[in-house]
Each structure stands twice: as structure tokens, then as C-alpha cells.
Amino acid sequence: MQQERSNFTNKLGFVLAAAGSAVGLGNIWRFPYLAAKYGGGTFLLIYLILAVTFGFSLMIAEISIGRKTGLSAIGAFKSLDKRFGFLGILASAVPIIIFPYYSVIGGWVLKYFAVFISGGVSSAAGDDYFTTFISGTFEPLVWFFLFLGATAVIVLLGVEKGIEKVSKVLMPLLVILTLFVAIYGLTVDGAMDGLAYYLMPHMSDVSAKTILAAMGQLFYSMSLAMGIMITYGSYMKKENNLESSVRQIEIFDTGVAFLAGLMIIPAVFAFSGGDPDTLSAGPGLMFMTLPKVFNSMRFGSVIGTLFFILVFFAALTSAISLMETIVSIIMDKLNWTRRKSCIFVFILALIMGIPSSLGFGPLGFISWMGMSVLDIMDFISNSVLMPIVAFFTCIFVGFIIKPKSIVEEVQEGNVTFKSEKMFTVIIKWIAPIFLVLILASSVASALGIFTI
Ligand code: PHE
């Protein structure tokens, strides 16, 4: 018997859950460091333009496909056109690859929260603290396990009682905390120069690379091209306005990314005296530089604790969407109960995540083109599979089921689709071209031909 499909209770529930998926580690550490690296205000502007055009169109397409079919990715593409079953499988592979390693990083965040709340700010600011921690064997595994467990419990509770409830509490809390930490950070001596650095456009930095970097970030940040929005769309009610929901999710996602930049860049700038290398440190920025910044601040222990709990919330709601997407595929395909699917996915993710966790310590000898296990997973999913999935999704919508069928879904309940023309042109022509470029450039940069 088919399990009955759950639903989000209302539009707010849907928007907050989808925003919960979109707002994650990508917003909080990746966006600020990319913005710092690619010309501050210029990057912001380019990102914004891309978000309201490309991001918007792809998200509209994915949510519509989900709501139209009432199925998760594998079933959805196949039911619309038999030949595109492969696309559903490809899209579903992305969360299966991402979820385990995302939870490993989620575990690190949880660990930092625990250290900060127990007053360990000065030890966390030590030079080797982070490397010593991640190269350990048991400790990172334990935190990974805890993070995964928390995610699994919420997904087990289901769409309404688990995901929606948690998102409705955590997402507003996240915004308040982010605002608070950002405002506090701006009061630190020297932060104003950092603010200028973040917001002022540096036109000399505009290049094709900046645009490609912004595009790549956009897809990741909006949780596109991995079946997540298809799954969440399948839980959306027909009477909720799809276009305005997408606008709201976008504002949420971009708003938090912007605030994260405000929270991090001026403070790090002040701390490092404006050293560009410190600002573009990538993953290390959050776990290595920020603890030092907090350690040098007044009330740094409290601010640091708030910071890591907000990052934890962001990571948790994203992990929930990853797990839910996998669980819903299993429920659709195998007709298993939610409980059985959750237990299965939990165990699978645990097994798959172990190599990523140990890849910085006991399994450190495994490397490919200088990347650790975790980086390899990240590269395959984000830089290779996602652009491919997004590309085929555009082709699928543009030429197989035709933009008209998406337009009709958006117009459900007699609402007008305000950006219909823009949507059609982008999904059919502009997005596919850009996606091929993104794929080519990320593969080229991994192979060392040039770096982005
Ligand atoms: N969108 C999330 C972020 O910005 C990342 C994410 C990727 C979440 C994949 C879920 C799935 O961090």
C-alpha cells in the first residue's frame, strides 16, 4: 500500500523549511569568504542579480516539478518522461554523497559549540587546535554521530511534526542571532574599514571567474540540483502561491548570506589588519581564524557561543533536508515506512561518513589531486554532479515537458506568474549555457589547468 504523503501545513511552514535547507554552512562560511576574495561589493551585486534571475528560475522549475507530480526526484522525472529516469537517479545521488560528509562538518560545529559554551575560547584559539581535533580518530566520530542522530530524530518525526516545527523555531532564531552577532562585530575597533572592504565594489576584480564563482555558490546555497526542492515541492499544497514562496526563500537565503558576511568580514578584517590571505582562508576561516577573533574580543566567549549555535542551527536544518530527500526517495520507491527508511539512511550515512571523518587522520594517506576524502566527496557532488543535473533539468523543462507546463503549475489556483517571460528565456537558453561553463571551469580548476 502506498504510504500517505505528508504535507506542510501552510505556506509559512513550507517557506521556512525550504529556507532552512537553503541556509546552511554555504551561507555562513563559504559566501563571506568568496565575497572577500572576489571583490566585495562587486561579488555581492553579481550574486544578487544571478539570484533573482537564474536561482529564481531553477527553483521555480524544481518546486513545480515536485508539486506537479507529488513525487521525489526519481519518480518525478520518470513520471513526466520515461527517458529522463536517469536524471532522477543522478539528482538523488547528490544528497546521498553530500549528507554523510555534511554531517561530519556538522559534528565539528557541534564540538566547537560545546567548547565555547564550556568556556574554552582560548584553547579553541590555539594554533593547532583545529588540526589536532580533526586528525583525531574517536572524537570527531562521536560528534559526527551526535549530529547525525539529532538530524535523524527530527526526520523520523516527519514533515509536519519534525521538519516544519523545528524550522519554524530555528529559522527566526537564526536570523536574530546573526543580526546580533553582526551588530556586535561592527562595534569592534577597525571594523568599519572591514565593512568598507566588504561592501565597496572593486571593479578590477570583475571577471568571468567572479561570475562563475558566484553562480556555483548560488546553486549550492539555494540547495538546487539535488532533488531537495523537488521533494519539498511535493509536500507543498496547491493553494499556496509558488512564485511568492520562491521569492521569500531567496530573500531569506541571500539575506542570511549577506548578514554572515557582515558578521565575519569586518571582524576578521579588524583582527588581521586587513590581510587578504587571512580573509580568503576558506574552511579554516570558521574553525581556525574566527576562534582567534572571538578570543580577542570583549565578551568573545559569549559571542562565540552564540555564533556556533547559530551555525549549528543552519547546518542542522540543511542536513534535515538532505536526509528527508533520501528518506522520501526510499519511501516512494520501496514503500517502506518512514521509520524503517530513517533507520536505514542513518546507518548508511554513518558508514559512508566514517571515511570522510577519518580522512584527516588515520585515513590521511587517501588523497586524490591533493584532496582528502571529504574534499573528494565535495568535489564530485558540487562541482561535477550538480552542474550536470542542473543542465539536464533545464533541457528537460525547456525542450521536453516545455516551460508551459511549469508555468501552468505556478498559475495553479488562478494566480499570475509575474516573471513568466524571464523564466522561459532563462531556463531554455541562458541557464544551460552558463551551466556548461561552470562544469568546464570547475573540472579545469580541479585538474589544475586554472584555479577559480
Ligand atoms: N544550501 C546549503 C548551504 O548553503 C547547503 C546544502 C547543500 C544543503 C546541499 C543541503 C544540501 O549550506
Q: What is the pLDDT of residues 396-432, one digit of tens each?
A: 999 999 999 999 999 998 999 999 999 999 999 999 9
Instruction: pLDDT band for 294, please (50, 70, 90 cuts).
Output: very high
- Cα separation, 324 vs 321, in Å, equals 5
368 backbone dihedrals φ, ψ, rounded to 5°: -140, 120
Is the shortest distance between the CB of 55 and ligand 1 below 6 Å? no
**Strand, helix or coil at 40?**
strand
Give the atom of ligand 1 at the shortest distance from the alpha carbon of 22.
Answer: 1
Residue 195 has pLDDT above 60, yes or no: yes
Residue 168: the pLDDT is: 92
Ligand 1 geometric centre to CA of 93 (Å)? 15
Distance of alpha carbon 328 from alpha carbon 336, whole angstroms? 10
CA 318 – ligand 1 centroid, Å: 6
CA distances, 248 to each of 3, 221, 325 (Å): 30, 14, 21
223 lines ligand 1 (CB under 6 A): yes
Q: Mean per-residue pLDDT for 379-404?
A: 93
User: Is ligand 1 within 6 A of the CB of residue 328?
Assistant: no
**Strand (E) or helix (H) holding 127:** none
Query: Do 157 and 327 form a contact (C-beta atoms < 8 A)?
Result: no
- Report CA(380)–ligand 1 centroid distance (Å): 15
Q: For the residues 245-263, what does the mean pLDDT come to?
A: 95
Residue 450, pLDDT above cutoff 70: no
To test the ligand 1 pocket, which listed residue (223, 259, 322) has its Cβ within 8 A of the most ligand atoms?
Answer: 223
Atom of ligand 1 nearest to the CA of 314: 12
Does the pLDDT value for residue 210 go beyond 90?
Answer: no
How many residues does this entry show for the chain? 452
> Which atom of ligand 1 lies nearest, measured to the CA of 223?
1
Ligand 1 neighbour 315 (Cβ under 6 A): no
Q: What is the pTM of this model?
A: 0.91
Least confident of 205-209, 234-238, 245-249: 205-209
Rounded (10°) CA dihedral 146, 147, 153, 155 = -160
| 96: nearest Cα among 316, 326, 390, 320 | 326
Residue of 47, 252, 318 best suited for mutating to test ligand 1, as the one with most atoms within 8 Å of CB: 318
Is pLDDT larger for residue 241 or for residue 383? Answer: 241
pLDDT at residue 92, as a whole number: 95
Gap from CA of 23 to ligand 1 centroid (Å)? 7
**Using a 6 Å cutoff on CB, does residue 231 contact ligand 1?**
no
Confidence class for position 269, pLDDT limits 50, 70, 90: confident
For residue 47, which of 311, 266, 314, 255 has the smallest C-alpha distance? Answer: 255
Q: How far is the C-alpha of 209 from the C-alpha of 429, rounded, in Å?
A: 21
The pLDDT score that the predictor gives to residue 205 is 66
Distance 202 CA to ligand 1 centre (A): 28
Q: Whose CA is nearest to atom 6 of ligand 1?
A: 223
Among the atoms of ligand 1, which is closest to the Cα of residue 25? 12
**Ligand 1 pocket check for 318: Cβ under 6 Å:** yes
Q: Is the pLDDT of residue 19 over 90?
A: yes
Higher pLDDT, 281 or 126: 126
383 — pLDDT class (breaks 50, 70, 90): confident
Question: 282 pLDDT band (50/70/90 cuts)?
Answer: low
Name the DSSP class of 287. I
pLDDT at 283: 63
Q: Is the pLDDT of residue 1 over 60?
A: no
Q: Within 13 Å of residue 31, how many CA atoms lie on the same side as its CB?
A: 30
Query: What is the rounded CA–CA span in Å between residue 233 and residue 66?
Result: 5
Question: Taking 80 as the threshold, does the pLDDT of residue 303 lie above it?
Answer: yes
Confidence at 5, pLDDT banded by 50, 70, 90: confident
Task: Please state, in angstroms and rounded to a whole number, the distance separating the CA atoms of residues 250 and 19.
Answer: 8
Under 8 Å between Cβ of 435 and 387:
yes
- Residue 272: the pLDDT is 87
Q: Give 415's DSSP letter.
A: -
Rounded average pLDDT over 318-343 = 95
Band of pLDDT at residue 449, cut at 50, 70 and 90: low
CA–centroid distance, residue 193 to ligand 1 (Å): 30
| Contact 99 CB / ligand 1 (< 6 Å) | no
Mean pLDDT across the chain: 91
* C-beta 320 within 6 A of ligand 1: no
Please indicate whether residue 442 or residue 430 has the higher confidence score (pLDDT): 430
Q: Give the number of other CB atoms < 10 A from CB of residue 452.
A: 18
Q: What is the pLDDT of residue 123?
A: 94
